[in-house]
Amino acid sequence: MEKLSILPSVLSPASAQADRIVSLTSYFIVAAAIVLAIVIGSLVYVVIRFRAKPGDKEPAQFTGNKVIEGFMIGVPTLLVVVFMYLTLDTMADVLPPEEDTRPDVVITGHRYWWEAAYPGTEAIVANEIHLPVGRRLLLHINAADVIHDWWVPALGAKMDAIPGRTNHLWVTITKPGVYDGACSEFCGTQHAWMRIKVVAQSEADFRQWVARKEKAANPVLSASAQAGAAFFSRQPCGSCHRIRGTAANGAVGPDLTHFASRKTMLAGLMENNPDNLRQWLTDPQHVKPGALMPRFSYPKDSINVLVAYLSALK
């Protein structure tokens, strides 16, 4: 059930929190538009009504006008009070308290990809993050290396991901769909290719998905995929990548347990298909310059068996 990706827009909210932020913003815009209309309208009126006419003398001079002064002080004060109330009211709903309640999802920003873990389950995924619709979720936002910033515009506020600190975010998704986001704090050469894809689905679909992600990799492997698995285990791949059910247990790069079930690879850079994977394994620095995976210079045959293995990890 692949849905069309929804373009990131703060103006098409898909969560209760994003809804509140959009309403608050629209109150501000409407109030600002009314003030602008009054100011420009008065200016135009004064320029036309009191423009110089032939034979005019200098008009009478006077100071002080209680009505106008009261208006000029009263209206801005009222606006500040009203908007302060609306802002605090929105913040109370949008920002979670900084206490350590158990999160539904722990998001960690890495150079240059996102990890999502689901506490209470074994599921760990990268870049394509599934969330259930209709339930208030608490996200913990962390960083493994430098400061990143989680932002999925349709789902509400941006949140910095800071090493050594946990930030919190509430998300109550209201509509199923696929929502794009991106790292929003410059974090290095491939900052622009640190995309997020949130797949929002029904509670039942979500539970099924988690159950699949929890399972260790146990695919039926073709002969070349078996050769690939053996090659993988002899190479340093496993010191950076985890494949549950095998000895590979690294946490520097994305968990590859269900690599082949991702639609895209390298945090949204390209479609996940054998050709792109072959290119990546042949020369990572050509495909995503600055990414933290070295070039190994393997012979073509070894790359091919690796591709066969990784493509079987559904």
Q: Which stretches of the chain bind Cu ion, using CB under 5 A?
A: 148, 183, 187, 194
Per-residue binder mask for ligand HEC (CB under 6 A), 227-266, x = binder = -----x--xxx-xxx----------xxx-x--x--x--xx
148 binds, among Cu ion, ligand HEC, none (CB under 5 to 8 A by kind): Cu ion
Does 27 contact ligand HEC by CB under 6 A? no
Distance in angstroms (rounded) separating the CA atoms of residues 257 and 273? 16
Site for ligand HEC in 265-284 (CB under 6 A): 265-267, 281
Residues 36-56 as b or e (16 or more Cβ within 10 Å = b)? eeeeeeeeeeeeeeeeeeeee
Amino acid in position 235: Q
Site string for ligand HEC, 200-229 (x = CB under 6 A): ------------------------------
Question: What percent of the chain is helix, strand and coil (3-state, nearest 5)?
Answer: 40, 20, 40
Closer residue to ligand HEC (CB): 20 or 241: 241
Q: How far is the CB of 228 from ligand HEC (least distance, A)?
A: 9
Q: Which of 291, 305, 308, 312 binds ligand HEC (CB under 6 A)?
A: 291
CA quadruple 144, 124, 274, 235: dihedral sign: positive
Which string of x and - marks every residue 97-116 that binds ligand HEC (by CB under 6 A)? Answer: ---------------xx---
- Give phi and psi for 242, each to the nearest 5: -100, 135
3-state secondary structure of 170: strand
